[in-house]
Amino acid sequence: MAKKILFQDTSFRDGFQSFFGARALTDDFLPAVTAAVDAGITHLEAGGGARFQSLFMYCGESAFDMMDRFRKAAGPDANLQTLARGINVVALSAQPKDMIDLHAKMFKKHGITHIRNFDALNDMRNLKYSGECITNAGLHHQVVVALMGLPPSCNGEGAHESSFYLEKVKDIIDLEIPFDSICFKDASGTTPQKIIYDTVKGTREMLGDDVLLWHHTHETAALGVDQYMASINAGIDGICVSRDPCSGGTAQPDLLSMWGALRGTDYTLDIDINKVMTANAVFKDCMKDYFFPEEAMKVSSEVLLSPMPGGALTANTMMMRDTGTLDLYPKVIEAMADCVAKGGFGTSVTPVSQFYFQQAYANVTQGPWKKITEGYGNMVLGYFGKTPRKPDAEVIKIAEEQMGKKFFDGNPLDVIEPGIAKAKAELEKNNLPTTDENIFIAGALMTAGGNKGVDFLLGKGTINVRKISDEKTKADSKPAVAASPKTPASGPQNYTVNVDGRAYNVVVAEGTGQVAQIAPANIPVQPTAAATSAGSIEVNAKLPGNVLKVDVEPGQAVNEGDVLVVLEAMKMETPVTAPQEGTVSSVEVVQGDVVTSGQLLVTLS
């Protein structure tokens, strides 16, 4: 009799993250949840990971409201699973113990039954306390060993081999981390099949037949189905699959594809094909107006050289579209391999994948290692835990100098101050109710540049979900571009150019005809240096991004080093500071603007 392989449907979490950068509105997809359950699918990924913050930041919704509605649509008996990142849980940064405990209690309260819990550095100390909180809340704790195939240019010094992963399984046992199942999670879909087979086989021999083992991968490099076959043949119990239209590409292998791959073998997924096809039809109808990025649907074999997770790839390209820098993507991906090697070989999965991408982005836009980004710097200095191998000594030195702190080899939880009191104070300052949900929202979405959770609770949230109908409306509403003047004019000339449906203002220098400046058309073209007042100082953006915050106004006196504007790109906040003492003459941007590299932000006198 064929062995039944368990499966989790990841369409509504990892599928959304992998295809839409986690931006999907609850009203749009709920009918597909009910249809999935009607088809006999009983285990669904319902949130967590980037889907938590994306709902507040991009969808104008509360993640807790979404979970409540998801539970209602799925019914009382479905297993609903979310994703947690160890001491980060679902937050934008590492969290203190009180917030980690609150995370488990809140997710239990809002209908979740299972939490998959991973640490990107495979520092299993980071999973002990969070695992205890998940277990104490009455939830199924699925502890993770994070997998990744190293780029061929990297000598991992033994990291990310099967022997390394088996050491991590032994760490779980030795640290007495409570767990109900173990998952081998490959966020980039790059782990060689032989390593997967040996890891699962070795774990089964170590722990016996009664321990529930899961495997999670992505189809980004078109290896997913074969990787699952390797783990199934080695003794895996369950796999993660997605469904049309959010399967394959950067997401998980398709449910029906895996069913087909197992036909005639000793294994089965035990599904009703006709019912699944009906559920897929409902799902496709729900998502028919969504913009599916080309890069999310194709084979991206380059991730074998620079392991970019499927769930992060589209999120990053979405943000690059927002800032008009998608053309830099190939260079950033190429630069990632160096960031992996010099950063200590942490697994390329959130948040570490984002640290790699942010640092690679900074290396491309500002020069190699000229700017150590906050997340990457804290990682190489040990403030998120112990990396699999010690980071590059020169990078550690640069990070210490730029960040003003020393390398740390202790337990991160020992140096993080309690968070609930700070979150509660922030809510009270803004006259907001101090419910447990609001406390968690404010604490989890707190950053150095502001609090995106509080902004949402104050009604300042925005909706940025790409839909086909919205793009068509924007295109139809654009005013016609006036014809260029037939007679020559003196001085630089301004033109509006349309590229891939986006309008840009282009400044062409007088005489030479060379392009002097390019900016999105909704941003005023800035005056040339010759047009500025004598003695004024221009403060320009060093990299493209969104204006997160403007801290000054005309007439305000500033000192050298004072923050003028905070830019955000790739979830990375970059303060723009005053180069010297002076008075603000003009502020050329407002919160929410998209700026290009070199664009004028503030003038000082």
Show the tokens assigned to 231.
């783990």
Instruction: Choose the weakest-confidence range: 108-117, 183-192, 469-478, 541-550.
Output: 469-478
211: tokens are: 């321990």
- The pLDDT tens digits for 95-106 are 999 999 999 999
Read off the pLDDT band of 477 (50, 70, 90).
Answer: low
**Stretch 534-547: mean pLDDT, rounded?**
80
205-253 tens-digit pLDDT: 999 999 999 999 999 999 999 999 999 999 999 999 999 999 999 999 9
Q: What is the mean pLDDT of residues 561-588?
A: 84
Q: Is the pLDDT of residue 530 over 50?
A: no
Residue 209 is given by DSSP the state S
If pLDDT is split at 50, 70 and 90, which confidence band does 166 have?
A: very high
Question: Which range is least confidently modeled, 55-69, 302-316, 542-556?
Answer: 302-316
At residue 248, the pLDDT reads: 96
Angle ∠(313,213,136) on CA atoms, nearest 5: 90
Greatest C-alpha distance within the chain = 85
Mean pLDDT check: name the lowest of 10-14, 437-441, 535-539.
Answer: 535-539
pLDDT at 392: 95
Instruction: Give me the residue label for tokens 């760490």.
Output: 171
Whether 585 shows a pLDDT value over 80: the answer reads yes
pLDDT beyond 70 at 285: yes
Secondary structure element (H or E) that encloses residue 215, with its range: strand 212-216
pLDDT at 470: 81
Against a cut of 0.85, is the pTM above it? no
Work out the average pLDDT over 64-92: 96
Instruction: Give SS3 for 449.
Output: coil
Q: What is the Cα 277 distance to its own chain's centre?
A: 30
pLDDT given at position 365: 84
Domains of the chain listed by start with CATH number: 3-292 (3.20.20.70), 490-525 (no CATH), 527-605 (2.40.50.100)
Output the pLDDT for position 315: 67
pLDDT band at 497; cut points 50, 70, 90: very low
CA dihedral 20, 115, 97, 461 (to 10 degrees): 30
Q: What is the pLDDT of residues 384-418, one digit of tens each?
A: 999 999 999 999 999 999 999 999 999 999 989 99
Is 390 within 8 Å of 121 (Cβ atoms)?
no
Distance (Å, whole) CA 599 – CA 586: 14
Residue 307 pLDDT exceeds 90:
no
Average the pLDDT over each of 188-197, 260-269, 429-438, 548-557 and give the range with the smallest value: 548-557
Nearest CA to 62 out of 74, 70, 427 is that of: 70
Percent of the chain scoring above 70 in pLDDT: 87
With a cut of 50, say whether residue 501 has pLDDT above it.
no
Return the percentage of the chain with pLDDT > 90, whole number.
67
Per-residue pLDDT band for 312 (boundaries 50, 70, 90) equals low
d(CA 516, CA 499): 18
Interval 323-382: pLDDT, tens? 777 888 888 888 988 999 999 999 988 788 888 988 998 899 889 999 999 889 999 999
- Average of per-residue pLDDT values in the chain: 88
pLDDT computed for residue 512 by the predictor: 42
State yes or no: pLDDT of 153 exceeds 90.
no
More confident: 595 or 123: 123
User: Residue 311: its pLDDT value, please?
Assistant: 60
The pLDDT value recorded for residue 345 is 93
pLDDT of residue 598: 81
What band does 481 get if pLDDT is binned at 50, 70 and 90?
Answer: very low
Higher pLDDT, 478 or 573: 573
- Is the separation of the CB atoms in 238 and 204 below 8 Å? no
Residue 526: what pLDDT? Answer: 37
Residue 70's pLDDT is 98
String of b and e for 31-57 (b: at least 16 CB within 10 Å)? Answer: ebbebbbebebbbbbbbbbbbbbbbbb
